[in-house]
């Protein structure tokens, strides 16, 4: 299997996941370039659903996520809180 085919396989794996994939790399910018080139060479419009980028929070990681993620309501945690914020008129003045 060629390197391009391996990169394309990763893209299709990301497409099959509910949200996407997180990859580690010792050279994220180069891995990013290779993934983007593999997507172009695949010429598959389905792969346009993916966003490929270097992780903004973790060094050495590439994030491949779907543009549109649909999760069931049960996947979103419900948080109960008793916090109440009271604002005075002074807080609302925007001079």
Q: Give the mean model confidence (pLDDT) for residues 33-39.
A: 96
Rg (CA), the chain: 20
Phi then psi for residue 50, to 5 deg, are -105, 140
In the numeric block, which tokens belong to residue 51? 């966003």
Q: Residue 54 half-sphere exposure, CB side, CA atoms within 13 Å? A: 12
- In the chain, where are the structural domains located? 3-69
More confident residue, 90 or 7: 7
Q: Give the mean pLDDT of the chain.
A: 84
Q: Give the mean model confidence (pLDDT) for residues 51-74.
A: 86
Q: Give the mean model confidence (pLDDT) for residues 29-33.
A: 94
Q: Are 41 and 4 in contact (CB under 8 A)?
A: yes
Classify the C-alpha dihedral 54-75-80-90 as positive or negative: positive
Q: Is the pLDDT of residue 58 over 70?
A: yes
**What's the pLDDT band for 69 if we cut at 50, 70, 90?**
confident
Strand (E) or helix (H) holding 22: strand 20-24
Weakest-pLDDT range from 6-20, 32-46, 58-72:
58-72
């Amino acid at each position: 299997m060629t390197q391009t085919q391996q990169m394309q396989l990763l893209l299709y794996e990301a497409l099959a996941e509910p949200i996407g994939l997180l990859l580690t790399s010792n050279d994220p910018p180069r891995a990013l370039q290779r993934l983007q080139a593999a997507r172009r060479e695949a010429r598959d419009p389905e792969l346009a659903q993916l966003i490929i980028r270097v992780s903004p929070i973790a060094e050495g990681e590439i994030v491949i996520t779907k543009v549109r993620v649909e999760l069931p309501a049960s996947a979103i945690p419900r948080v109960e809180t008793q916090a109440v914020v009271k604002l005075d008129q002074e807080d609302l003045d925007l001079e």
